[in-house]
């Protein structure tokens, strides 16, 4: 029995890229730190919120690489002068990735009360009707 993949299904022509996106998302291996929420803020707006307690704006970077939103956090190394009796606040570096659909753009980012908010907008697709002329031979 032959396994049909998404890109090889006879009714889905040209969707090979979608299969690659699904594979890339599965391989991202985000462990769970930092925790995040994704919410829909409007009909065409979304917000990703990451809990980044202990990080300041200078410790964070947000980039879009090949339709993939990548959020990285890296804190400067401490000088070792502090002695912790208990260290429950994570202070490790992280990388969190989200695959963006075509037409989804980053509208901006804000930080408040230890939460990083990344706002996304989805452009309204153009409605295109194309008539194909049939030629006789």
Domain boundaries, the chain: 1-29, 31-122
**CATH code for 31-122?**
2.60.40.790
Whole-structure pTM value: 0.71
**How far apart, in whole angstroms, are the C-alpha atoms of residue 86 and residue 91?**
13
pLDDT of 7 over the 60 cut: no
DSSP letter, residue 7: G
pLDDT 10s digits, 26-47? 665 556 889 999 999 999 999 9
pLDDT 10s digits, 42-91? 999 999 999 998 899 999 999 999 889 999 999 876 667 778 899 887 66
Question: CB atoms < 10 A from the CB of 50, how many?
Answer: 22
């Amino acid at each position: 029995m032959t396994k049909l993949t998404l890109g090889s299904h006879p009714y889905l022509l040209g969707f090979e890229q979608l299969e690659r996106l699904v594979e890339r998302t599965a391989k991202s291996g985000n462990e769970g730190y930092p925790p995040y929420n994704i919410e829909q803020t409007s009909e065409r707006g979304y917000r990703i919120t990451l809990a980044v307690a202990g990080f300041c704006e200078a410790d964070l970077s947000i980039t879009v690489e090949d339709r993939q939103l990548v959020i990285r956090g890296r804190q400067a190394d401490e000088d070792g002068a502090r002695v912790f009796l208990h260290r429950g606040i994570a202070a490790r570096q992280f990388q969190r990735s989200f695959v963006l659909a075509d037409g989804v753009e980053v509208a901006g980012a804000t930080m408040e009360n230890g939460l990083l908010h990344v706002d996304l907008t989805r452009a309204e697709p153009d409605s295109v009707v194309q008539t194909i002329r049939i030629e006789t031979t």
